[in-house]
Amino acid sequence: MSGDSDFDFLLVGSGVAAATVAMRLLARDPRTSILMLEAGDRIPSRDRGLWWDYVTNNKLPYDYTYDHDNPDNDTSGSGQSSIGNVRFEMHKSRITAMGGTTMHWGGWSLRMKPEDFVLCTNTGKGGDWTFSYDELEPYYCQAEDILSVSGGDEEGGAPRSQPYGQPAYPWQSADEDLKNAFDKSQLVSGRMPLARYRRCMTTGTCRYCPVGARFSAQYLVEDLENGAYPNFVVRTGITVTGLDMDGKRRVSGVSYLDRHQGNAPGKATAKTVIVCAGAFESPKLLLRSRTDGHENGIGNNNDLVGRFLVSHSFLSIKASKPTNKDRVASEFGFPTLMSRSYDTEEWQPKGKIFLFRNQNTPKVKWEHMMHAGKTRAEMDAIATGKMEVGLSAFYEEFGCKNNRLTLNTNGRTDQFNLPLQTISFSRDKQVKDNAGCLLNEMAGIMNNLDGYTIVDDSAKLEGAAGYHASGTCRMADSPENGVTDGNQRVYGTDNLYICSNAVFPSIGAVNPTLTLTAVALRLADHLGACTTAPQGDEA
Amino acid sequence: MPADFNLLERIDPSPLLGSPRQLLNSEIDGLWALFVEINSRWRLFHTRDAEIEVPDAKNLHSSWLELVTLRAQPHQYPNCLQQLPCYVEEYVNALSVIAALCSHDDSEYALDPLLAVTTQPENSRIWHARKFVVEEFMTVMIVAGGFKEFGGHNYDGFLGGSRFNEVTQIVAPLPSERGSAGTTW
């Protein structure tokens, strides 16, 4: 290994997937040489000045990394473009920085359920995983340890072989009315599993934790940097622009631009390359890498790269009552009450939903009232006045071939030299009808809130957004059905892997990060078990 | 306060730029007096007594001082596109605004144009003092504990301590459990 050459592994990206793979490989052999390339910067963490800026001005040190949406859906415009019958919002849905999107995630850490791995078999929609829940279950346990997940007994949740390492966060007083409505509706109430270290002080400022109590992959990467791993190298400001091939099947490394050195071009080589760049940049990197034998991009001989884009839709409804005599207010910055009663095989054909109390209700921003000139007496009256509770849900959508991302044809790049994209995303009538049916179910629950009335026009199916995006390089049992095999190796290559939500053939109704961590552990074990560079096995 | 100081002078809307430096003790005292005045008007922290109610913001001093100190001397972050603005000039401006207001009115209502009024002429010096200093101080007052006045148990930004209630409860034993030698507690 010298300079950027001859590493055992080259990881594109530094989010939870890359960090977990690196951690596992280094645990197996501390001498393993790993080069981690991150297009974004190293955002200062646990900085009290930055935290105060967030508390007082709602400004985050990574705001500048967010995508700029193109409001006109103009495919030649300056921002990310969205076409199709549903606008697809990218702004604030991901972070380009060391640690990736875990820099701002909420830490909700739920397992998918066994039926999610056989979605296509069960419903004829979306895709099946190439392995079962049972195979991933031990990795889920380890992933929960890595993310430091707090959770409790979860009746109706995914089966588990080990208890959580930390006790669940308690329900809050603000959960009480909705919990009673869940009971009346015969739903099982659960406690949200959350990735928080024991030092959590429930500041509610989880998007920038002042004490580093919410798991972030940045901490994991920095722990590895500070560990006894002489051959582990992380570089930020490095935008990988293409995968370099040595022959038709072997990837020799990557080409990049070094943003911190005036966009100086460079190359890095490795025996194995793992693209851990999320559900948007991973397929884009494959599409950009056009070489002999891969004229449409690496892994794209069947025109599947970038297709089957899935993201959670968001359902919400609110109810209110005239007084709040007990002055109930949401206490944490995250929900503690949830239910998986509609996250079941029975609901799978319609699209499962994962229910939780909207953590922003009931809540009042007292400082904003002071800013607006409200008197103390007026603020007191508001504290005991109208009270609102929201019920929200992630709604599973199924991968459709025509929901896809492509490279923006204008060739323009964003602030990190990453190519802009065009997203084509549509919902058919059945998806909308099913959402309407599920919103009716949610309204039924809200009608069981004692003393509340559903707020007019509050039942909504929100537009699509990049949160939890997946499926764009999905795994499948053949190159005709997917981009990677069951070990996440890109079809048509010997040593190129994808480790991202992009490989998920389905996403269920819950947040994907815990599953991604488990998948990354499984991949690392596969790679670590290969005593020689792995070989492809398909024709 | 400069002799030609005009609190209605229009200036750039972004934070006033200045070089980071340690605030003078007199500046800290002046800003703290402003914080205390805000508290006094909203009565968020006070000593309750059957006979008298005394506004008292002293228990917020450390939180408040951390804010103004870090605002005046922000760190520089290498290879990061986002940097914190330095508020030294904003604090100097706010103190000048207060001095100007007090020079025109020596009554208890002198600071009303800054504290009671919410629509200062946009981008003026008094608007800057309101937006970058007064409103931030109001936010500190709420998140550091003022929310409790409205019945809240927790609030975004409140460093309330561990969520684990595992501290051993220390209670005085019942008389019958006390030592026969009459241990005092």
Of the given ranges (A374-378, A445-449, A532-536, B80-84), which has the lowest mean pLDDT? A532-536
Residue A313 to residue B16: CA distance in whole angstroms: 42
- Write down the pLDDT at residue A199: 87
- Write down the pLDDT at residue A75: 52
For B63, which residue in chain A has the nearest alpha carbon? A52
How much is the pTM? Answer: 0.93
Residue A96 to residue A39: CA distance in whole angstroms: 7
First-to-last alpha carbon distance for chain A, in angstroms, is 32
Domain for residue B126, yes or no?
Answer: yes
Domain for residue B172, yes or no?
Answer: yes
Q: Evaluate whether A265 touches A21 at the Cβ level (below 8 Å).
A: no
Residue B28 to residue B67: CA distance in whole angstroms: 11
> Of the candidates B70, B117, B140, which has its C-beta nearest A48's C-beta?
B70
- Specify the residue for token string 């040595």: A246
Please give, rounded to a whole number of angstroms, the shortest distance from the CA of B15 to a CA of chain A: 12
pLDDT at A61 over 90: yes
Identify which of A212, A12, A202, A3 has the alpha carbon closest to the alpha carbon of residue A96: A12
Which residues in chain B are closer than 8 Å to A260, comparing Cβ atoms? 79
Identify which of A356, A348, A313, A359 has the alpha carbon closest to the alpha carbon of residue A460: A313
Average pLDDT (A403-410) is 90
- Write down the pLDDT at residue A178: 98
pLDDT tens for A65-83 read: 999 876 555 555 456 778 8
From the number of C-beta atoms within 10 Å of its C-beta (0-12, 13-18, 19+), residue B165 rates as exposed
3-state secondary structure A489-503: EECCCCCEEECCHHH
Query: Looking at the 3D structure of chain A, how many domains does it have?
Result: 1
For B161, which residue in chain A has the nearest alpha carbon? A201
- Write down the pLDDT at residue A539: 45
Average pLDDT (A499-515) is 98
Query: Looking at the 3D structure of chain B, how many domains does it have?
Result: 1
Which residues in chain B are closer than 8 Å to A202, comparing Cβ atoms? 154, 160, 163
pLDDT tens for A447-481 read: 999 999 999 999 999 989 999 999 999 999 999 99
Domain for residue B11, yes or no?
Answer: no
Of A239 and A535, the structure prediction assigns the larger pLDDT to A239
Residue type, position A22, single letter: A
Which residues in chain A are closer than 8 Å to B159, comparing Cβ atoms? 201, 203, 210
Domain for residue A1, yes or no?
Answer: no
Residue type, position A70, single letter: N
Give the CA angle between residues A506, A508, A363 to the nearest 5°: 135
Torsional sign, CA A68, A69, A70, A76: positive
Beta strand spans in B26-114 (E): 46-47, 54-55
Which residues in chain B are closer than 8 Å to A52, comparing Cβ atoms? 66-67, 70-71
Average pLDDT (A424-439) is 95
pLDDT tens for A312-355 read: 999 999 999 999 999 999 988 899 999 999 999 999 999 999 99
First-to-last alpha carbon distance for chain B, in angstroms, is 58
Residue B67 to residue A508: CA distance in whole angstroms: 43
- Specify the residue for token string 């480790």: A499
What separation in angstroms does the CA of A180 have from each of A359, B32, B46, B170? 17, 47, 38, 34
Please give, rounded to a whole number of angstroms, the shortest distance from the CA of A251 to a CA of chain B: 30
Domain for residue A2, yes or no?
Answer: no
For B139, which residue in chain A has the nearest alpha carbon? A367
Give the CA angle between residues A217, A496, A420 to the nearest 5°: 65
Beta carbons of B75 and A203 less than 8 Å apart: no
Domain extent, residue B53, equals: 25-177
- Write down the pLDDT at residue A409: 79
Encoded tokens for A193: 């599993």
- Write down the pLDDT at residue B173: 52
Q: Evaluate whether A80 touches A69 at the Cβ level (below 8 Å).
A: yes
Domain extent, residue A517, equals: 7-529
Residue A308 to residue A297: CA distance in whole angstroms: 17
For A166, which residue in chain B has the nearest alpha carbon? B164
Helix (H, G, I), strand (E, B) or coil at A214: strand
Please give, rounded to a whole number of angstroms, the shortest distance from the CA of A337 to a CA of chain B: 16
Residue A175 to residue A180: CA distance in whole angstroms: 9
Beta bridge partners of A392: A316, A356
Helix (H, G, I), strand (E, B) or coil at A71: coil
Q: What are phi and psi of A261, to 5 degrees?
A: -120, 45
From the number of C-beta atoms within 10 Å of its C-beta (0-12, 13-18, 19+), residue B109 rates as exposed
DSSP for residue A69: B
Which residues in chain B are closer than 8 Å to A362, comparing Cβ atoms? none
Identify which of B21, B45, B38, B59 has the alpha carbon closest to the alpha carbon of residue B129: B38
Residue A502 to residue A512: CA distance in whole angstroms: 11
Q: Evaluate whether A297 touches A305 at the Cβ level (below 8 Å).
A: yes
Beta carbons of A203 and B157 less than 8 Å apart: yes
Residue B36 to residue B33: CA distance in whole angstroms: 5
Q: Evaluate whether A524 touches A25 at the Cβ level (below 8 Å).
A: yes
Average pLDDT (A10-15) is 98
- Write down the pLDDT at residue A535: 56
- Write down the pLDDT at residue B84: 87
pLDDT at A538 over 80: no
Residue ranges in A384-512 assigned as alpha helix (H): 429-446
- Write down the pLDDT at residue A78: 54
pLDDT tens for A189-207 read: 999 999 999 889 888 999 9
Question: pLDDT in tens for each of the 185 residues of chain B?
Answer: 777 889 899 999 999 988 999 999 999 999 999 999 999 999 888 776 667 777 788 889 999 999 999 999 988 887 777 788 899 999 999 999 999 999 999 999 999 999 999 899 999 999 999 999 999 999 999 999 999 888 888 899 998 765 655 444 455 555 555 444 444 33
ipTM of the complex: 0.89
Encoded tokens for A237: 């400001």
Helix (H, G, I), strand (E, B) or coil at A177: helix
Please give, rounded to a whole number of angstroms, the shortest distance from the CA of B182 to a CA of chain A: 41
What separation in angstroms does the CA of B142 have from each of A336, B38, B155, B156, B163? 23, 11, 8, 10, 21
A219 pLDDT tier (thresholds 50, 70, 90) = very high
Encoded tokens for B151: 């019945």
Domain for residue A536, yes or no?
Answer: no
Give the CA angle between residues A112, A160, A354 to the nearest 5°: 30
3-state helix, strand and coil shares in percent for chain B, rounded to the nearest 5: 45, 5, 55
Domain for residue B10, yes or no?
Answer: no
Average pLDDT score, chain A: 93
CATH number for the domain harbouring residue A208: 3.50.50.60
Burial A484-512, CB ≥16 within 10 A → b, else e: bbbbbbbbbbbbbbbbbbbbbbbbbbbbb
Domain for residue B7, yes or no?
Answer: no
DSSP for residue A470: B
Torsion of CA B14, B20, B26, B29, to 10 degrees: 60
pLDDT at A88 over 70: yes
Domain for residue A539, yes or no?
Answer: no
Residue A316 to residue A372: CA distance in whole angstroms: 29
Query: Would you say how long chain B is, in residues?
Result: 185
Please give, rounded to a whole number of angstroms, the shortest distance from the CA of B46 to a CA of chain A: 13
Residue window 34-53, chain A: list those with CB within 8 Å of chain B: 41-44, 47-50, 52-53
Q: How many CB pairs under 8 A join A and B?
A: 123
Domain for residue B84, yes or no?
Answer: yes
Beta carbons of B43 and A376 less than 8 Å apart: yes
Beta strand spans in A93-196 (E): 149-150, 190-191, 194-195
Residue ranges in A148-188 assigned as alpha helix (H): 176-184
Q: Evaluate whether A355 touches A391 at the Cβ level (below 8 Å).
A: yes
Residue A169 to residue A165: CA distance in whole angstroms: 13
Radius of gyration from C-alpha coordinates of chain B? 22
> How many Cβ atoms sit within 10 Å of the Cβ of residue A411?
8
